[in-house]
Amino acid sequence: MQSIFKKNLEKLSAYQPGPSTDEIKKMYGLEKVVKLDSNENVYGASPNVQKAIIEDALFPELYPDCRNSDLRDELSKRLCVHSDRFLFGAGLDEIIVLISRAFLDASSSIVMAWPTFYEYYCHAQIEGAATKKIPCTPDGKHDLQAMLRAIDGTTKVVWICNPNNPTGTYLTKDELDAFIEAVPKNVLIVIDEAYIDFVTAKDFPNGLNYLNAFENVLVLRTFSKAYGLASFRIGYAIGSLRIIDEINKVRPPFNNPRLSQVAALAALRDDAFKKDCINKNRKVLAETAIFLRKKGIQFFDSQANFIYIKTDHPEQVALYCRKHGFLINSFQDGVRVTIGKSEDMKRFLPILEKTLLDRVTESSI
């Protein structure tokens, strides 16, 4: 008998959230749990966001503006990009779904780095496309030469995460220039710039600068990280009209709630708040790097609001930190730590040091 289930989904499992901070407090008898696991803005969001939402909390019965006009116009002005070249989604998560839906099928493939943002992989699988995961170089960067070699006649989308999550490393302008030049024009290059606001490197390439010369480049940005609006689910893509029109065919028309649009506009206009968060992040990131270096702990230099630390027992490290009130993420050969507030990092780093270097783990306490 025919199964109701899709073959493509067989090997996938649903996103498994860890225990909530309240559950962890109860589990370990903690008074405070600090989230350093999702790269959220540890300084919150602009106070203007709350004001704007309260003023706008009327008309819950109306569908939102499906063009996101006010935010679109403000971004268009600020970024000097024509307003028709934007597409908005319920976070970049949804935009990654829409890109996969619009371009991928069982006869196609994607090329991506590994480790990088998991959703690129997940949604290619859902569409039945083949996924070519190209291991990062030993210094945590996309291996662009190997990624180029992996592109073949079936490749529809190449994913570039710059700076890369979870390694925090970045591709320089020269490296990305040469890569984009070499990728065939019938392959879509998506540059995910979720962390661009935190970047300080002078040779970092702004993806927008490729848009005029390359119709096959699409740039992704989000309000979830530097703007502190993760709960509002709002992000956007910028690209050529041909690509944007195509993705719009699969976009649900009312995918951005009215209050998310209002919140994003208020956050966007508060330049001072964002700048302050970025400066604080820069300072605490530098302090963290100094600490790690002094202790001989291996990590990748980061351009984002998190840092990747190498270890051969990542899951035990994450568990130990959790037991001590700090949530971090584990990967195959390391842990990713969001750069928290200065006072939280001062408490956290000695705990991390203990489990990393002395190999003190949860079970050995």
CB of 361 to ligand PLP, least distance (A): 28
**DSSP for 295-320?**
TT--B---SSSEEEEE-S-HHHHHHH
- Minimum CB separation from ligand PLP for residue 117, in Å? 4
If one asks whether residue 117 binds ligand PLP (CB under 6 A), the answer comes out as yes
Which residue shows structure tokens 């959790």?
A: 322
Alpha helix ranges (H) inside 158-270? 173-182, 241-248, 258-269
Per CB under 6 A, the segment of 89-97, 168-176, 244-252, 295-303 that binds ligand PLP is: 89-97
The candidate with the shortest Cα–Cα distance to 165, out of 125, 128, 220, is 220
Single residue of 130, 146, 150, 230 touching ligand PLP by CB under 6 A: 230
Please tell me the distance from the alpha carbon of residue 261 to that of residue 239, in angstroms, as a whole number. 20
Stretch that binds ligand PLP, among 42-50, 86-94, 99-107, 199-207 (CB under 6 A): 86-94
Nearer to ligand PLP among residue 37 and residue 192 (C-beta) = 192
**Residue 92 binds ligand PLP (CB under 6 A):** yes
Q: At what angle do helices 271-294 and 258-269 cross, to 10 degrees?
A: 80
Measure CA 118 to chain center. 10
36 binds ligand PLP, rule: CB under 6 A: no
DSSP code of residue 87:
E
Give the Cα separation of 153 and 276 in Å (integer): 46
The CB-of-301 to ligand PLP minimum distance in angstroms stands at 17
Q: How is the beta sheet containing 334-338 ordered, strand by strand?
A: 306-310, 334-338, 329-330
* Shortest distance (Å) from residue 4 CB to ligand PLP: 29
Contact, 110 vs 124, CB < 8 A? yes
CB of 98 to ligand PLP, least distance (A): 12
Question: Residue 93 or residue 143: which is nearer to ligand PLP going by CB?
Answer: 93
Among 68, 165, 316, 338, binds ligand PLP (CB under 6 A): 165
String marking each residue 194-223 x if it binds ligand PLP according to CB under 6 A: x---------------------------x-
Candidates 65, 73, 74, 93; binder of ligand PLP (CB under 6 A) is 93
* 175-194: contacts with ligand PLP (CB under 6 A): 192, 194
Tracing tokens 């649900």 back to the chain, one arrives at 252
Question: Toward ligand PLP, which CB reaches closer, 121 or 320?
Answer: 121
First to last CA, the chain: 53
Asked if 265 is part of the footprint of ligand PLP (rule: CB under 6 A), the reply reads no
- State which of residues 224, 281, 302, 316 lies at the interface with ligand PLP (CB under 6 A): 224
DSSP string, 244-307: HHHHHTTS-TT-S-HHHHHHHHHHHH-HHHHHHHHHHHHHHHHHHHHHHHHTT--B---SSSEE
Could you give the C-alpha distances from 310 to 314, 315, 363, in angstroms and in order? 8, 12, 21
> Closest CB to ligand PLP among 34 and 219?
219
- Residue number of the CB atom closest to ligand PLP: 91
Do the Cβ atoms of 318 and 328 come closer than 8 Å?
A: yes
- CA dist., res. 115 & res. 187, Å (int): 21
CB of residue 239 to ligand PLP, shortest distance in Å:
16
Interface positions, 142-161, toward ligand PLP (CB under 6 A): 161
Residue whose CB is less far from ligand PLP, 195 or 320: 195
Q: How far is the CB of 56 from ligand PLP (least distance, A)?
A: 21
Q: Which is nearer to ligand PLP, 93 or 177 (CB)?
A: 93
Binding-site size for ligand PLP (CB under 6 A) equals: 13
Residue numbers of the site for ligand PLP (CB under 6 A)?
39, 91-93, 117, 161, 165, 192, 194, 222, 224, 230, 235
